Amino acid sequence: MQNGMQLFSSTMRLLLRWLRLCFRRGHKRLPRCVREPWSYSRLLLKSLYFNSLTNSDVVMDALFEPVFWLVDHLTRWFGVVFVCLVVILTSSILIIAYFCLLPMVLDTYSTAWIIWHLCYGHWNLVMIVFHYYKATRTSPGHPPQIKCDIPAVSVCKKCIIPKPARTHHCSICNSCILKMDHHCPWLNNCVGHFNHRYFFSFCLFMTLGCIYCSISGRNLFLDAYRAIERFKSLDVEPQGVPVTGVGWLIGLLPPGSAPGQSYYQTPAPPFTFRDKMFHKSIIYMWVLTSTVALALGGLTLWHAMLISRGETSIERHINSKETRRMQKKGKVFRNPFNYGRLNNWKVFFGVEKRSHWLTRVLLPSSHPPYGDGITWDFTLHRKDLMAV
């Protein structure tokens, strides 16, 4: 590896010397607008091998820096578009549910089923709206910007401030995030220490709501699909059907031209424009909710697995690499933030007593998470958590 780096450094030096010799004669005659970019390019090229710590990762990061900058800025601006898209799609499902399905449910279902659908549907809706609003509007948490005695594990090379444990820099938000999980474009916000619970609860209840709509609307979807197929068949059928008269029957003579013939005019289709829109709305609702249930359900299960292990998405990648590194040395890696599956869920949801499973998990709650996101020493509270 060391020989390879020395060969790379020597090659770069020879390339610069050759370019300097070829360019020296006409350098003075070049205009300033050309000399400055040339000097800046030489400086960039020299910076790629300025010390022995340079490797292929550093070179690739430097080359792809414009691409990273473009992606970060596009994601930042398109976050507003994604949030509007979530609001529009959710509102469209609500409009279909209230104006198409609710009148039918009130007319055809029994009283017990009506009460079940109204209670569960509105509870699920309140949980989705509450957690999505809190996830988008709650700050994920940032480390202190002023100099203070906080436990730090490193210094951010972008913010030039101490980074506590589990803190990472978000290039889209351009700041360090406490217990950063990822930057979610659908929230236009980072998922961190103070809004991680809101994000997961939104994913969970949105998945449950989509599964509820998909299962309860399956028969309606099948009926609507068959009705749409009937609409298509009626659109291609002729409106007039002759019954007597050979020449008129084969289309050689117009109606009424042959004596004694009769003509049967089919009535207008019994399906109105309102009926077509109703069935198309049912199909749209079922396809959208089923698709979201599959996609978002997989994401929710992934995050549930991470929470059970006391990890974030970023820590999952870091811990996997650290586990492989320790295995090569014959050692076992242990996640210091894993307090056991049940305790991990209690810390995540902020459950301190049995009633909190109802008031803080199954009902809207804006209580703060456990801890401040800077220190993670929960050893004193571990016995209390097990007793819940």
Active-site annotation, residues: 184
The conformation of residue 98, written as its DSSP 8-state character, comes to I
Which DSSP category does 357 fall into?
Answer: I
Closest residue by Cα to residue 180 from 333, 69, 311, 296:
311
Here the tokens at position 242 are 């002759």
Per the rule left: phi > 0, alpha: psi between -120 and 50, beta: everything else, 179 is: left
Give the CB-side neighbour count of residue 159, counting CA atoms within 13 A.
22
Rounded CA separation 219/217 (Å)? 6
CB atoms under 10 Å from CB of 109, counted, come to: 13
Rounded Cα–Cα distance for residues 365 and 277 (Å): 39
Q: What's the token pair of residue 249?
A: 């029957």
Q: How far apart are the first and last CA of the chain?
A: 55
The residue with tokens 């077509």 is 276
For residues 143 and 163, the answer to whether their CB atoms sit within 8 Å is: yes
Please say whether the dihedral angle defined by the alpha carbons of residues 360, 361, 366 and 367, taken in this order, is positive or negative.
positive
Report the candidate in 331, 327, 321, 351 with the shortest Cα–Cα distance to residue 339: 351
Q: How far apart are CA 233 and CA 143, in angstroms?
A: 65
Residue 206's nearest CA partner among 137, 288, 280, 279 is: 288
